[in-house]
Amino acid sequence: MLSSYRQIFASPGTLAFSSSGFIARLPISMAGIGIVTMLSQLTGSYGLAGAVQASMAIAAAALGPGVSWLVDRRGQRRVALPATALTVAAAAGLLLSAHFHAPSWMLFVFAIGLGVMPSAGAMVRARWAHLYRDEPAKLHTAYSFEAVVDEVCFIVGPIVAIGLATNLFPEAGLLVAVIALSVGIALFTAQRRTEPPVHPAAARSGGSAILNGGLVVLVLTFVATGAIFGSVEIVTVAFADAQGHKGLSSVVLAVWALGSGLAGIVYGALKLRSPLSNRFVVGVVMMALSMVPILVVASTVHGIGGLVAAGGALLVAGLAISPTLISAMALVERLVPAAQLTEGMAWTTTGLAVGVAFGSSAGGWVVDASGAAAGYWVPLAAGVLGVVTALAGLGWLRAGLAAEQPAGEGADGAGRPVDVER
């Protein structure tokens, strides 16, 4: 297993851009939960906290693909640095507004400004694709590794953000997220020799990546997936608070991410022959089913035992996440031209962001209206919606994969011929 991962780092510069990309991605898991923790402490309203977080997610959905569109045409360094500067300025405004109890509308304005945050995960994966596009087995392992890195971010990020906000001062979690973004992007963009070349003419000739039907299916499914993430996050914080142990919510969420990370490590070392589209749909189904145990636990077990049981349920639920996301990113790489890859991956992130917005808002509203345990109905409903969307769009995915394949080849992630149409 380890030999597969050692091979992808044989190319010079890979460790440097991947590790700096890890730092740059920490704010993805820290910013949202940092806002929720900060505002729930300063205002006492989970509804407002979720709505502000949702406004940031919606802004990221609207602005993120445009930033990545520029990255494909102008280069990672030329776009990521100014985008990061704008993000830092917006975060500073949000922190000051929250600290000095400014009118609520100011919180929303500055949260929207955070939407220009560059997609570090998409840029890292674009570098892997540039290096290993002709070596599908290595690219599969690289994507799997990055999925694990994402989950490590979601293990470390919430713990740091919630821990700082609850033990130091409410704004500490978001503040550290901004610092991590600044340092991570600076280090990442300094790695010039592994930066993918710019193909402006090729990118213009193909139009926007979202015109690809298969990508649309992935994005819509990711809206539902993001709703699972956003609602579980805010509902778990509220559930832990209701049990009298709000600070432990970060540990519970970390266990969820740990399950996903472990699954990603194993999945990345496997040499699978089944079609990518089928793997993706199976993953979406498993994510939906995994929301049933946490709903039962939250409704029946209380106190510290409830948090332990919730952690166990989320550990199992996490096992479906990384394989699904890995398959999705591999699908994007197969469906979208190389000159639009960063934008294509950013669109999946956009789908997640929109889903997080709806999920966090709906979760916050249900918690305020009916209690924390009832909030877990939101991720279950989102999971069912994701299954319906993925099944309805399976034909589009298969058609897109078939169109991208030379005659006689299939969509196997390890580069072996299989029949993707049956």
The pTM of this model reads 0.71
In whole angstroms, how large is the CA radius of gyration of the chain? 20
Q: Which residues contact 71 (CB under 8 A, 6 or more apart)?
A: 79, 80, 118, 122, 123, 126, 342, 343
Q: Is residue 8 part of a domain?
A: no
Please tell me the total count of domains within the chain.
1
310 domain-assigned:
yes
Residue 99's contacts (CB-CB under 8 Å, 6 or more residues apart) are 42, 171
Instruction: Kindly write down the DSSP assignment for every residue of 167-202, as one continuous string.
Output: HT-TTHHHHHHHHHHHHHHHHHHT--TTSPPP-HHH
Least confident window among 71-85, 114-128, 161-175, 264-278: 264-278
In a domain, 412, yes or no: no
Q: What does the block give as tokens for 201?
A: 């003419």
136 within a domain of the structure (yes/no): yes
Q: Is residue 421 one of the residues assigned to a domain?
A: no
375 falls within a domain: yes
Q: Where are the alpha helices (DSSP H) in 13-103?
A: 14-43, 46-74, 76-99
CA angle 197, 199, 204 (to 5 degrees): 155
Task: Say if 294 falls within a structural domain.
Answer: yes
Query: What average pLDDT does the structure give for the chain?
Result: 82
Interval 253-275 mean pLDDT: 79
The helix/strand/coil state of 212 is: coil
The yes-or-no verdict on residue 22 having pLDDT over 70 is yes
Per-residue model confidence (pLDDT) at position 263: 85
The range of the structural domain enclosing residue 381 comes to 14-404
Predicted confidence (pLDDT) at residue 133 exceeds the cutoff of 90: no
Determine the pLDDT at residue 168. 87
Burial class (CB in 10 A: 0-12, 13-18, 19+), 407: exposed
Question: Directed axis angle between helix 213-242 and helix 291-300, to 10°?
Answer: 20
Question: Is a pLDDT exceeding 80 seen at residue 389?
Answer: yes
Whole-number Å distance between alpha carbons of 216 and 204: 19
> Does residue 37 lie within any of the structural domains?
yes
Is residue 412 scored above 50 in pLDDT? Answer: no
Looking at per-residue confidence, does 156 or 167 come out higher? 167
Res 44: pLDDT: 78
pLDDT digits (tens, 9 = 90+) for 177-231: 999 999 999 999 998 888 888 765 544 555 666 767 788 889 999 999 989 988 8
> What's the CATH number where 314 sits?
1.20.1250.20
Q: How confident is the model at residue 87 (pLDDT cuts 50, 70, 90)?
A: very high
